[in-house]
Amino acid sequence: MIVKKYTIEILVITIILGLLFYSSDPVLYVDSYRFLKGSLTETGISDPPLYSTIILILNSIFKTLNSVVIFQTLFIGFGILFFLKTITKYFDIDVLSKAIIAIFLFLPMFKSYNNLLTEALSYTLSLIFVSFVVKLIYTFSTRNLFWTSILVILLLLIRNQFLFLYPIILLLYLGIISIDRSKKKLISLTISFIFIILSQNSIVFINKSIKQVSLENNTLLNNESGIFHYIYVDTIYISSTEDVELFKDESLKKTFAKNCEQHKTN
């Protein structure tokens, strides 16, 4: 009886363990290196901060990127179980149907669960978000509204493509208000929408400011192998060490002097 009661849980856990046994090594792509650098590029911030922050935290604790793959895989399992539990609560679904749904939900992740990209976490967060939207529609409560708001913020902070959630959430809230025009719901939904906008934009702004300071502190004036060296030193011809004195900035003088000496030795 116990096995029958937890058939879906056993199925999901078995698939999770199978994936991890197959491989927990991270698969890196060109885009992966942006996240490894904290979503920081020489031209500025190109990605939301959530995924790179998760990588930073896990890698700092466990000292290996395999921890990111393990976390992603376990999180996928949790998301699928949470989604199945939610729809089972509100819809009449038998065990066989849940098992088939679980397998189909895993299919998109078989090739990407160990990729060091945002797809795995984005997919799982989307499943949990849909679950809470269903909960919110059928059982409106402060708890469900709070977690719906949090899930929207997390999705906005993991991929720029999720900006489309703003109009979707607005339409969802308007739909809920149109069904039940209570003043309490109107106030709660308004606060939630404002909370989502302020939270997402504040976090992005703070992250952008921190990374920009980091970028400025690591300028290529102090690193002759970086952007400054590539753009300026290699495009300006310094004929002699005397020419270096034409520049007033001491950092520039040192950088150009080193470059001049390198050209002489070559």
Residue 48 and residue 111 in one domain: yes
In this predicted structure, what is the pLDDT of residue 229? Answer: 40
| Amino acid type, 107 | L
Q: Are 249 and 215 in contact (CB under 8 A)?
A: no
Q: How many domains does the chain have?
A: 2
Residue 106 and residue 11 in one domain: yes
How does strand 40-41 pair with strand 44-45?
Answer: antiparallel
Residue 6 and residue 98 in one domain: yes
Block means of pLDDT (10 residues each) for the chain, 266 residues, are 77 94 91 78 68 94 94 96 94 89 93 93 97 95 96 95 94 91 90 95 84 57 43 42 53 55 52
In this predicted structure, what is the pLDDT of residue 138? Answer: 93
| Amino acid type, 79 | G
Residue 15 and residue 53 in one domain: yes
Q: Which of 209, 211, 252, 214 is nearest to 233 (CA)?
A: 252
Distance, CA of 51 to CA of 54 (rounded, Å): 5
Give the torsion sign (CA, 155, 156, 159, 163).
positive
Query: What is the end-to-end Cα distance of the chain in Å, rounded?
Result: 79
Residue 232 and residue 206 in one domain: no
pLDDT per residue as tens digits for the range 68-90: 999 999 999 999 999 999 999 99
* Phi, psi at 212, each rounded to 5°: -70, -40
Distance, CA of 238 to CA of 2 (rounded, Å): 80
Residue 52 and residue 149 in one domain: yes
In this predicted structure, what is the pLDDT of residue 234? Answer: 40
Residue 75 and residue 39 in one domain: yes
Residue 157 and residue 189 in one domain: yes
Domain contains 222: no
In this predicted structure, what is the pLDDT of residue 230? Answer: 38
Distance, CA of 123 to CA of 51 (rounded, Å): 13
Residue 189 and residue 260 in one domain: no
In this predicted structure, what is the pLDDT of residue 199? Answer: 93
Beta bridge partners of 27: 115
Q: Are 114 and 72 in contact (CB under 8 A)?
A: yes
DSSP reduced 3-state for 203: helix
pLDDT per residue as tens digits for the range 38-63: 755 544 556 889 999 999 999 999 99
Q: Are 175 and 221 in contact (CB under 8 A)?
A: no
Residue 76 and residue 54 in one domain: yes
Domain contains 253: yes
Q: Are 120 and 75 in contact (CB under 8 A)?
A: yes
In this predicted structure, what is the pLDDT of residue 31? Answer: 85
Residue 153 and residue 241 in one domain: no
- Domain residues for 192? 2-217
Residue 20 and residue 131 in one domain: yes
| Amino acid type, 28 | L
Distance, CA of 113 to CA of 122 (rounded, Å): 11
Distance, CA of 85 to CA of 79 (rounded, Å): 10
In this predicted structure, what is the pLDDT of residue 254? Answer: 57
Domain contains 184: yes
In this predicted structure, what is the pLDDT of residue 36? Answer: 86
